[in-house]
Amino acid sequence: MTTLTAPTALTALTAQVTPGVWIAQDERDRWIPADPHPHDRAAAANLPRWRVTEFLAARALLRHLLRAVLPEQADAPVHAGEHGRPVLAGHPDTGISISHDGASIAVAVAPHRRVGVDVQQPADSAPDTLLRRCLGKHARTVSTLPERQRALELAWVWTVQEACVKAAGTGLSGRPWTIDVPPGRPRGQWDAYEWISLRERSRTPLSCAFSALSSSVPHSSVSRSDVETLCS
């Protein structure tokens, strides 16, 4: 995993989780733009007032990440595709994903891949019925943990499940709760997607999922030289 040097004074968690897949996560209130990007301001005009703040903050973080890794695409309009999946206008081969929950926001960018990201604020508790629904055969193991810890583990698992269906473009219709995610696992595979949980980097449950890089795309076209390797 690698980290990028932030191009602004803001210090969001920004990491390249695998070559060509970048994510950024931070507190929503640190990214509320005083002067939103014109495309984002126009899109927010039709939203309920309670959604505007998180919408503009997440878009600002997305453009921050794009400026760092794909600056030529940083000003492209963002449209809603099938199942509400965000799409960069004029750049259909660049996968992007946006997530927000409570005071947290997260985004992902992946050229020539499908990508999904999810961030989740843990609840205060995790009922047994919810554990069984989302954890399946693993529910019994987690149910023995203290209440806060089992709620935290459920949140980590759910971020993986959500990230996977976001990458697949199916949303909730993809039945994310049926995806098998062993508790405590930092990475794995589901269908055609690899997933990674940033358990050692983020206090807030945060995971991303991504498809394989097309074999027709050279590795050099999605790598950046301005990254510092933290771990492999």
Looking at residue 44, what is its pLDDT? Answer: 96
Please check whether residue 4 lies inside any domain of the structure: no
Between the alpha carbon of residue 79 and those of residues 49, 83, 200, the distances in Å are 19, 12, 33
Q: How large is the greatest C-alpha to C-alpha distance in the chain, in angstroms?
A: 50
Residue 69 belongs to domain with CATH number: 3.90.470.20
DSSP class of residue 49 equals H
Residues 6+ apart with CB under 8 A from 151: 122, 123, 124, 125, 126
Between the alpha carbon of residue 83 and those of residues 52, 70, 173, the distances in Å are 20, 25, 9
Please check whether residue 232 lies inside any domain of the structure: no
Looking at residue 75, what is its pLDDT? Answer: 97
Tens of each residue's pLDDT in the chain, 232 residues: 654 433 444 568 999 999 999 999 999 999 999 999 999 999 999 999 889 999 999 999 999 999 999 999 999 999 988 878 899 999 999 999 999 999 999 999 999 999 999 999 999 999 999 999 999 999 999 999 999 999 999 999 999 999 999 999 998 888 999 999 999 999 999 999 999 999 999 999 999 999 998 655 555 444 543 433 222 2
Nearest-angstrom CA–CA distance, 52 and 22:
25
Nearest-angstrom CA–CA distance, 199 and 72:
31
- Rounded-to-5 percentages of helix, strand, coil across the chain: 35, 25, 35
Closest CA to 177 of 186, 190, 187, 188: 190
Please check whether residue 226 lies inside any domain of the structure: no
Nearest-angstrom CA–CA distance, 127 and 135:
12
Structure tokens at 114: 């499908």
Residues 6+ apart with CB under 8 A from 6: 12, 14, 68
Please check whether residue 229 lies inside any domain of the structure: no
List the domain range (segments joined by +) for residue 83. 12-219
User: Do residues 110 and 95 make contact, with C-beta atoms less than 8 angstroms apart?
Assistant: yes
Please check whether residue 230 lies inside any domain of the structure: no
Please check whether residue 5 lies inside any domain of the structure: no
**H or E stretch covering 51:** helix 49-69
Please check whether residue 1 lies inside any domain of the structure: no
Nearest-angstrom CA–CA distance, 127 and 140:
12
Q: How many domains would you assign to the chain?
A: 1
Looking at residue 172, what is its pLDDT? Answer: 86
Q: What is the dihedral of CA 59, 226, 214, 193, to 10 degrees?
A: -60
Looking at residue 9, what is its pLDDT? Answer: 41
DSSP class of residue 62 equals H
Please check whether residue 228 lies inside any domain of the structure: no
Looking at residue 173, what is its pLDDT? Answer: 87
Nearest-angstrom CA–CA distance, 1 and 231:
5
